[in-house]
Amino acid sequence: MMPARNAGIAIVFIVATAHVQAQSFPTRPIRIIMPFPAGTSVNDVLGRALAQRLTEQLGQQVIFDNRSGAGGTVGTELVAKSPPDGYTLLLAATGPMTIAPFVYPKLGYDTMRDFAPVAMVALAPYIIIAHPSVPAKNFKELVALAKAKPGQLRFASAGTGSTPHLCTELMMNMAGINMLHIPYKGGAPAMIDTIAGQTQTYCTSVTNAAPFIKQGKIRAIGVTPIKRSPTLPDVPTLDEQGLKGFDVSQWMGIVAPAKTPPAVVQRLHQAIAQVINNTDYANFVRQNGGEPSLMGPDEYGALMRTELERWGKLVKAIKVTAE
């Protein structure tokens, strides 16, 4: 058995070594894995810009690496199984982190066990849209129409178990209505068919919807966060329109593999915080339909626990399984 004095010296040595490593970190390029295809979401746009600015902040190249597949779970699992050294990070999103664990029966990671939260970066609001042929100009009218035609209105989604899908399911659950789910392989075909009138409604990002709303190709029914979107300030929230407490946004953050040294996590958090607090990046986020929303590791971890509980209850109630 190691004498107490020697054990104490060993602990001090380990702590000191970790501190020195954190001070010198990073000494080589860092990868941020984006678990969705390039150019398909606001998270991709904001994450790519974050990587560019972190390169300047950290003095090492930060590579933005798209690794898509299975609703974002392929890239997410890749990071979960990467070395916990701070050199492979994940651009974490609502779907893969807090919905997929309940939708995919054989998921290769556990959100709370396999990741170390680093920082939440931004929120991106969703909006419920409808084709102009739908005789509903607001949320109350959409609810009345759905109740008059149960199961007949078709709603698009970016795929079974995606955040847009669960956003609509939560809306239906809270409003007591039933619409027919039409899943697509991604957001682009879902939007195309909604514009064409093949589907009547769709929950999508404000960024994706705004240009088509302004062109009159689709109609805004209501935004899904508690607060209105600066991009479409005249569109009321679902909460304002009677669905009290409804609050859904896509969140984007950075996580590392579990057991990444706390000092390295803190170093990364400080660098991300400096980027987010910079007016240049904050303005970029807002111009692209998001809202800067910095959280530290503990607060971000608490958010994920809350989101896991919320989406888990819904998925179990409506029995959603990934195809």
Give the span between the Cα atoms of 181 and 275, in whole angstroms: 39
pLDDT of 40 above 60: yes
Domains observed in the chain: 16-123+249-318 (3.40.190.150), 125-223 (3.40.190.10)
- Cα–chain center distance at 101: 14
Query: What single letter denotes the amino acid at residue 290?
Result: G
Left, alpha or beta for 69 (phi > 0: left; psi -120 to 50: alpha)?
left
Please report the pLDDT score of residue 186 as a whole number.
Answer: 83
Report pLDDT for 21.
Answer: 56
The encoded tokens of residue 80 equal 């979960």
If pLDDT is split at 50, 70 and 90, which confidence band does 293 have?
A: very high
Instruction: For tokens 């939708």, name the residue.
Output: 103
Q: Would you say 171 and 238 are in contact if contact means Cβ atoms under 8 Å apart?
A: yes
Span 83-139, pLDDT tens digits: 999 999 999 999 999 999 999 888 999 999 999 999 999 999 999 999 999 999 999
Give the phi and the psi of residue 243 in degrees, each rounded to 5. -90, 75
What would the two tokens of residue 103 be? 């939708």
Confidence check: pLDDT of 27 > 80: yes
The residues, any chain, with a CB within 8 Å of residue 275's CB and separated by 6 or more, are: 50, 53, 54, 57, 281
pLDDT tens column, 244-280: 999 999 999 999 999 999 999 999 999 999 999 999 9
Burial 72-106 (b: 16+ CB within 10 A, else e): bbbbbbbbbebebbbbbbbbbbbbbbbbbbbbbee
What share of the chain in percent tops pLDDT 70? 93
Higher pLDDT, 198 or 37: 198
Tell me the percentage of the chain whose pLDDT exceeds 90. 81
The pTM score is: 0.87
Tell me what pLDDT residue 15 has: 46
Assess whether pLDDT exceeds 90 at residue 38: no
Tell which wins on pLDDT, 69 or 323. Answer: 69
What is the model's pLDDT at position 22? 63
**Greatest mean pLDDT range, 7-21, 34-48, 160-174:** 160-174
* Residues near 228 by beta carbon (within 8 Å), at least 6 away in sequence: 235, 236, 237
In tens, the pLDDT along 129-181 reads 999 999 999 999 999 999 999 999 999 998 888 899 999 999 999 999 999 99
Q: How far apart, in whole angstroms, are the C-alpha atoms of residue 189 and residue 40?
A: 11
Residue 294 has pLDDT above 80, yes or no: yes
Per-residue DSSP letter, 30: E
Q: Using alpha carbons only, what angle is made at residue 315 by residues 249 and 122, rounded to the nearest 5 degrees?
A: 20
